[in-house]
Amino acid sequence: MTKQLILNSSSSFLENSSFHMSGSKSISQRALIINFLGSSSFDIINLSNSKDTYTLNEILKEIGKKKSFNVGQGGTTFRFLLPLLSLIDKEFYINGHTSLESRPLSSLVDALKNLGVKFTFLEKKNHFPFKIHGGKINLKSINIQSDKTSQFVSGLLLVAPYIKGGLRLKLKTKIVSKSYIDMTIQMMRSCGAYVCWEKNIISVNEGSYSSIIKNIESDWTSLSYIYECVAISDKAEVIISSFTYPSLQKDSDIILFFNFLGVSTKFNNDKVIITKVKHSLPSLIEWDVLSNPDLMPTYLVSCFALGVNLMLTGIDSLIYKESNRIQSVKINLEKFNAKINFNSKYIFLDSSNPLFFEKEIDTFNDHRIALAFSPLVLKTRSLIINNPQVIEKSYPKYWGHLNKIGIKSFFQK
Task: Give me the pLDDT at residue 232, please.
Answer: 97
Q: What strand order describes the sheet that includes 382-386?
A: 360-361, 382-386, 4-8, 408-412
**The CATH number of the domain covering residues in 4-23+217-412:** 3.65.10.10
For residue 161, the one-letter residue type is P
- In whole angstroms, give the CA distance from residue 9 to residue 234: 13
For residue 321, the one-letter residue type is K
- In whole angstroms, give the CA distance from residue 392 to residue 51: 6
Coil/strand/helix, residue 267: strand
- In whole angstroms, give the CA distance from residue 131 to residue 335: 44
The neighbouring-strand residues paired with 195 are: 204
Task: Give me the pLDDT at residue 229, please.
Answer: 97
Task: Give me the pLDDT at residue 104, please.
Answer: 65
DSSP-assigned letter for residue 311: E
DSSP-assigned letter for residue 38: T
Task: Give me the pLDDT at residue 97, please.
Answer: 86
The neighbouring-strand residues paired with 164 are: 138
CATH topology of domain 25-204: UDP-n-acetylglucosamine1-carboxyvinyl-transferase; Chain (3.65.10)
Residue 400, classified by CB atoms within 10 Å of its CB into exposed (0-12), middle (13-18) or buried (19+), is exposed
Question: Which residues, including other chains, have CB under 8 Å from residue 230's CB and lie 6 or more apart?
Answer: 14, 236, 237, 238, 258, 263, 274, 275, 276
- In whole angstroms, give the CA distance from residue 278 to residue 98: 47
| Preceding amide of 129 cis, omega within 30 | yes
- In whole angstroms, give the CA distance from residue 198 to residue 386: 46
Query: What residue ranges of the chain are covered by domains with CATH 3.65.10.10?
Result: 4-23+217-412, 25-204
Task: Give me the pLDDT at residue 139, please.
Answer: 67
Exposure string for 322-334, b = 16+ CB within 10 A, e = fewer: bbbbbebbbbbbe
DSSP-assigned letter for residue 171: E
- In whole angstroms, give the CA distance from residue 353 to residue 349: 11
Q: What is the CA radius of gyration of the chain?
A: 21
Within 10 A of 254 (CB to CB), how many other CB atoms are there?
Answer: 27
Task: Give me the pLDDT at residue 2, please.
Answer: 63
- In whole angstroms, give the CA distance from residue 187 to residue 200: 20
- In whole angstroms, give the CA distance from residue 363 to residue 125: 29
| Crossing angle of the two packed helices 151-159 and 106-114, in degrees rounded to 10 | 30
pTM: 0.94
Q: Tell me the CB-side half-sphere exposure of residue 336, using CA atoms within 13 A.
A: 28
**345 within 8 A of 333, measured Cβ to Cβ:** no
Task: Give me the pLDDT at residue 336, please.
Answer: 98
- In whole angstroms, give the CA distance from residue 90 to residue 64: 10
DSSP-assigned letter for residue 11: -
Element (H, E) at 210: none
Coil/strand/helix, residue 412: strand
pLDDT averaged per 10 residues in sequence order, the chain, 413 residues: 86 86 97 94 93 95 94 89 95 89 80 91 90 85 77 93 92 82 97 95 95 96 98 95 94 97 97 95 96 94 98 85 88 98 95 97 96 97 96 96 94 83
**386 within 8 A of 361, measured Cβ to Cβ:** yes
Of 371, 365, 368, 381, residue with least CA distance to 402: 371
